[in-house]
Amino acid sequence: MFSPNLKNYKIILASGSPRRQQFFKDLGLDFEIRLREIDEVYPEMLHSHQITDYLSELKGKAFDGSLAENEILITSDTIVWHENKALGKPKDVENAFEMLKSMSNATHQVVTSISFKTTEKVVTLHDDTAVTFAELTDEMIHYYIDNFQPFDKAGAYGIQDWIGLVGVKSINGSYTNVMGLPTHLVFEFFKNF
């Protein structure tokens, strides 16, 4: 399924996300995990995929000088783009509530960028999915936050969680992108590597 050239390379996933790690396993990729801490700060004038492209590439820069010639590093970043601003991971319960309340009865974009870095070059791809929530009552939002603790998720929700089952009215685009990794882009990249 994947390019024969891939056999000569070691795949490094720079993500602590259990969802992204599971996607790589489900795709049948052999990989190892390497993590580096970075400050996820971006210039204010960036919008939508410019933000995720920037942060995905910034995460890769943390590995400058430490990649071997036969390694491919994969970094990624996801945001929710709503009302012309980026919603990252919520800081606390109040922030999570505000995010979910603002997306009630509205459509937002989930944007993910993936960077593939070797010692020679960086290729960054992104995907955009429109998600429409039905009306989310305060009671629903509190129940979700209390029971699912969505503080590690952009936009304060996981579509695979309870809130996705009861609150998502429609989705236009990649489901796996909303979960944090547009797997079709990963597959295409490694198929054509």
Q: Report, as residue numbers or ranges, the catalytic residues.
A: 77
Q: For 87-90, which contacts have Cβ atoms below 8 Å and span 24 or more sequence positions?
A: 87/154, 87/155, 87/156, 88/40, 88/154, 89/151, 89/152, 89/153, 89/154, 89/156, 90/150, 90/151, 90/156
What is the rounded CA–CA span in Å between residue 186 and residue 189? 5
Residue 145 amino acid letter = I
What is the rounded CA–CA span in Å between residue 91 and residue 89? 7
What is the rounded CA–CA span in Å between residue 82 and residue 121? 32
Residue 149 in contact with residue 89, Cβ under 8 Å? Answer: no
Q: What are φ and ψ of residue 165, in 5° steps? A: -70, -40
